[in-house]
C-alpha cells in the first residue's frame, strides 16, 4: 500500500475540490492509502458529502493553520508550525507517508521540504520540474522557481534529476538535455551558463548544448535546464502570454456578427487549443531532489488536477524516482562532495 498525504487546505478552491479529488483517487487507485491533513472543522462537511469520513483507506490528521497565498514562505517554518503543509512535510520526514501532494503555497512547500525533509544525500538543492507544452509535444523545465541563485553544480544536478524524470514521463532512454541560454554557441551566456556548459558537455548524458527561448517550444529537447530565476520568469511569461492570446482571440472574434458565428463554429477547435496547455493532466510539478516525494499542484487546481497529482505522487514512489536520481548522480560523479573535491583538485 502506497501512503500519500494530501494538503486539504492548499489551493484557491480548497478544501472542497481537494476532498472531491481525493474521493476520485480513492476509487481509481485502490493501492493508495490517503492521509488527509487539514482543519477538521472545515473539512468535515466535505468528508460527509463525499462519504469518505470512514473510508478504510483514509486517515485524518488535524492541522490548526493554513498558509495563505499572500504570506511569506518562511511563515511555514517560523510562524505557523501547525499548518497543513508543515504537518505534511513532517509526516514525510518521519516516513509515516511515502509522498505528499499540495496545491497550496509553492514557496512554503519548497521551504518545509528543504528544512524538514531535506535533500537526498549528495544533492545540494531541490528543483521544481514543470511540464511545458511545445509544438509537437511537451518538455520538462527545471528549475521553475525554487532556486533564484545557482552555482554550476546545481544546474548539473538539475540536469540529472530532469533526465530521471524525463525517462519516467516520456518512457524513453537518454532524453535530450538542453541548457537555456542566449545563444547556441558554447561561448554565449553568462558565467553560470558557460561554466555549466563545460561540465554538462563532459558528462555521459545526451546533452545537446545551449537552447534558446525561441526554440525550446519546437521540442528540440525533452529537458530544459536553467536557474530558478530564469525558469520562473519563463513560466510566468508563458502563462501571461497564453491569457493574452485568448483575450486577443476573443476580441477579434466578437467584432461583428459574422466573426461571432465563425467563433461558434470553431468552438471545438478552441477547446482543443486550450487542451495543449492543460495543467490538469500533469496534476502537479514534482520537487525533485528531496528525501521523499513532493508534488506541488497549481493554486487553481480542480478535482481532476488533485486526482492526477495524487496519481503522479504514487507513480513516483513506484518508479523509485529518488533511487534513480541518486544512482545517476553517483555514477556521473555529480555528488556535491565529489564536485567540491574536483574543484579543489
Where among 279, 310, 328 does a domain terminate? 279
pLDDT of residue 340: 63
275 shares a domain with 133: yes
Q: Is residue 14 part of a domain?
A: yes
Largest CA distance in the chain: 73
Q: Which residues of the chain have pLDDT under 70?
A: 263, 265-282, 337-345
Helix (H, G, I), strand (E, B) or coil at 126: coil
User: 131 - beta bridge partners?
Assistant: 140
pLDDT of residue 222: 96
Distance, CA of 164 to CA of 169 (rounded, Å): 9
Range of the domain at 248: 129-279
196 shares a domain with 314: no
Where among 231, 252, 279 does a domain terminate? 279
266 shares a domain with 317: no
Pairing of strands 138-142, 130-133: antiparallel
274 shares a domain with 135: yes
Where among 228, 248, 279 does a domain terminate? 279
Q: Is residue 135 part of a domain?
A: yes
CATH number of the domain where residue 333 is located: 3.40.50.10950
Q: Is residue 284 part of a domain?
A: no
CATH number of the domain where residue 141 is located: 3.40.718.10
pLDDT of residue 344: 47
User: For 218-274, what is each residue's pLDDT tens digit?
Assistant: 889 999 999 999 999 998 888 787 778 777 777 777 877 777 777 676 666 666 555
Helix (H, G, I), strand (E, B) or coil at 309: helix
DSSP for 3-70, please give it: EEEEETT-STTTTHHHHHHHHHHHHH-TTEEEEEEE-HHHHHHHHHHTT-TT-TTEEEEE--B---TT
269 shares a domain with 167: yes
pLDDT of residue 345: 46
Amino acid at each position: 500500500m502506497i501512503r500519500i498525504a494530501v494538503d486539504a487546505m492548499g489551493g484557491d478552491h480548497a478544501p472542497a475540490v481537494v476532498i472531491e479529488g481525493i474521493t476520485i483517487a480513492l476509487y481509481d487507485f485502490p493501492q493508495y492509502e490517503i492521509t488527509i491533513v487539514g482543519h477538521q472543522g472545515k473539512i468535515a462537511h466535505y468528508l460527509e458529502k463525499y462519504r469518505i469520513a470512514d473510508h478504510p483507506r483514509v486517515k485524518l490528521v488535524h492541522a490548526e493553520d493554513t498558509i495563505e497565498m499572500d504570506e511569506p514562505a518562511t511563515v511555514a517554518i517560523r510562524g505557523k508550525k501547525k499548518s497543513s503543509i508543515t504537518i505534511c512535510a513532517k509526516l514525510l520526514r518521519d516516513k509515516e507517508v511515502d509522498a505528499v501532494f499540495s496545491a497550496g503555497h509553492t514557496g512554503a512547500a519548497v521551504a518545509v521540504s528543504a528544512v524538514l525533509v531535506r535533500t537526498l544525500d549528495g544533492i545540494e538543492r531541490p528543483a521544481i520540474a514543470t511540464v511545458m507544452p511545445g509544438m509537437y509535444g511537451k518538455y520538462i523545465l527545471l528549475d521553475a522557481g525554487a532556486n533564484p541563485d545557482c552555482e554550476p553544480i546545481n544546474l548539473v544536478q538539475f540536469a540529472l534529476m530532469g533526465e530521471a524524470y524525463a525517462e519516467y514521463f516520456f518512457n524513453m532512454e537518454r532524453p535530450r538535455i538542453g541548457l537555456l541560454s542566449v545563444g547556441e554557441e558554447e561561448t554565449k551566456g553568462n558565467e553560470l551558463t558557460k561554466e555549466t556548459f563545460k561540465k554538462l558537455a563532459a558528462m555521459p548524458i545526451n546533452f545537446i548544448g545551449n537552447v534558446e527561448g525561441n526554440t525550446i517550444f519546437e521540442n528540440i529537447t525533452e529537458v530544459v535546464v536553467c536557474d530558478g530565476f530564469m525558469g520562473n520568469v519563463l513560466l510566468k511569461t508563458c502563462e501571461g502570454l497564453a491569457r493574452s492570446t485568448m483575450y486577443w482571440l476573443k476580441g477579434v472574434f466578437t467584432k461583428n456578427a459574422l466573426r461571432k458565428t465563425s467563433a461558434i463554429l470553431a468552438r471545438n477547435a478552441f477547446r482543443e487549443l486550450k487542451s495543449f496547455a492543460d495543467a490538469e493532466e500533469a496534476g502537479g510539478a514534482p520537487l525533485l531532489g528531496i528525501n521523499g516525494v513532493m508534488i506541488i499542484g497549481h493554486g487553481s487546481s480542480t478535482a481532476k488536477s488533485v486526482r492526477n497529482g495524487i496519481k503522479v505522487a504514487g507513480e513516483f514512489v513506484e518508479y523509485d524516482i529518488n533511487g534513480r536520481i541518486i544512482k545517476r548522480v553517483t555514477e556521473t560523479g555529480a555528488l556535491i562532495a565529489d564536485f567540491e573535491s574536483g574543484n579543489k583538485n
